[in-house]
Structure 1
Amino acid sequence: MKNRLTNFTIYLSILYTVTMLSCGKALPTKESLKSEIFEVESQFCDYVRQHGIAEGFAFFADDSATILRGRDSLIKGKNAIYHYYSNPQYLGAKVDWKPDFVEVSKSGDLAYTYGHYTWKVPKSNADTLVVKGIFHTVWKRQTDGTWKYVWD
């Protein structure tokens, strides 16, 4: 019985591999998925530079995304995130970041990054407030294959 089960398991493994290969889709490697996430982070940052903080953070957010902000407050949901960053204090603000580290789950549908960010917020007296820190983002692969953040 044990021998039959082992043979059956081997058969299923071979069948799965042949099926995946015949579909023409190679299984992504962990390194290729990490590269994808680095690229998504770069696209996210570029989008924010081009379209503004509210548009960018809403565009890359999963519908159920949550952002942790000062005083341990949470902003939950894409619409709330857009509304939060539509505050006039963010209209002239600039933010820049780059991940220092990326990790991807074995299943390839979740990932997280962390790295350094810099916020530059113009003040009314022509000065600029500069805030530097560490960010942490959790990414989730969507059903269409794109990545959206679920936590920032």
Structure 2
Amino acid sequence: MNTSKIIYTLFLVTLLSACAKQEKEPSNEMMETWKKEIADAEAAFAQMAKEEGMNKAFLAFAAEDAVLMRGNQLIEKKTGIAEYMKDQDSKGLAWSPEFVDVAKSGDLGYTYGYYTFSYEDQEGNPAEAKGVFHTVWKRQEDGSWKFVWD
């Protein structure tokens, strides 16, 4: 190999190395901050559902491209969620995450835990449905967290 080829090769390697995206691992403190942001968004979502009803809360915390899965049915986009939720003004849904995690990129996270839905049965008696929820959160351009999957 002649000298000009060696210099050219070294130049290309240096140039490509400089252009390569250097991903820095976030600190534990940053990861915990992001987890807290998601936990706070989840808590505000649950509080709004309790105080103002499911309809308002789901629309306030859904990203434009959010998807709900309800009984093997996908409800897609915020417009679909609005249609699905339009008559669901119940304030009987309560939940709290048992677990929160976030991607090292800081743009996606998820929560899961248990929910309780209190309602009146067909005879007007108090009833409850309990289950497990799983929510995927995505950081929005404005820095807020909105759910993209519930």
TM-score range, shorter chain: 0.7 to 0.9
- Is the partner of 2:146 in helix, strand or coil? strand
Question: Quick one: distance in 1 between partners of 2:149 and 2:125?
Answer: 31
| 1:115 equivalent in alignment to 2:90 | no
Q: Which amino acid aligns with 1:79?
A: T
Shift of 1:85: 1.9
Provide TM-score, normalisation by structure 2.
Answer: 0.78
1:138 aligned partner, one-letter code: V
Structure 2 portions without partners, runs of 5+ = 1-9
For residue 80 of structure 1, report the CA deviation from its aligned partner. Answer: 1.8
> Counterpart of 1:63?
64
Residue 29 of structure 1 aligns to a residue whose secondary structure is helix
Which ranges of 4 or more aligned residues in structure 1 deviate by more than 4 Å? none
How many residues get paired? Answer: 134
Counterpart in 2 of 1:30?
A: 31
Moved more, 135-144 or 78-87: 78-87
1:123 and 1:133 mapped to 2: Cα distance?
17
TM-score (norm 1): 0.77
121 and 93 in structure 1: CA distance in 2 versus 1, 3 angstrom threshold: farther
Other-structure match for 1:81? 81
Distance in 1, matches of 2:94 and 2:32, equals 24
SS in 1 for 2:84: helix
Provide the C-alpha distance between the structure 1 equivalents of 2:50 and 2:91, rounded to a whole number of angstroms: 10
Describe how 1:117-136 pairs up with structure 2 within 5 A.
117-136=115-134
SS at match of 1:37: helix
After TM superposition, give the deviation of residue 35 of structure 1 in Å. 0.8
| CA-based RMSD | 2.7
Please give the alpha-carbon distance, in whole angstroms, between the structure 2 residues aligned to 1:61 and 1:37. Answer: 13
Tell me the residue number matched to 1:149: 147
| 8 Å contact kept, 1:92–1:122 | no
In 2, Cα distance between equivalents of 1:92 and 1:146: 25
Tell me the alpha carbon deviations over residues 98-120 of structure 1, each in whole angstroms, 9 at most, x when there is no partner. Answer: 11111101110000111111111
Task: Spell out, residue by residue over 1:3-29, the C-alpha distance to the aligned partner (whole angstroms, 9 max, x if none).
Answer: x94xx75xx97xxx9xxxxxxxxxx71
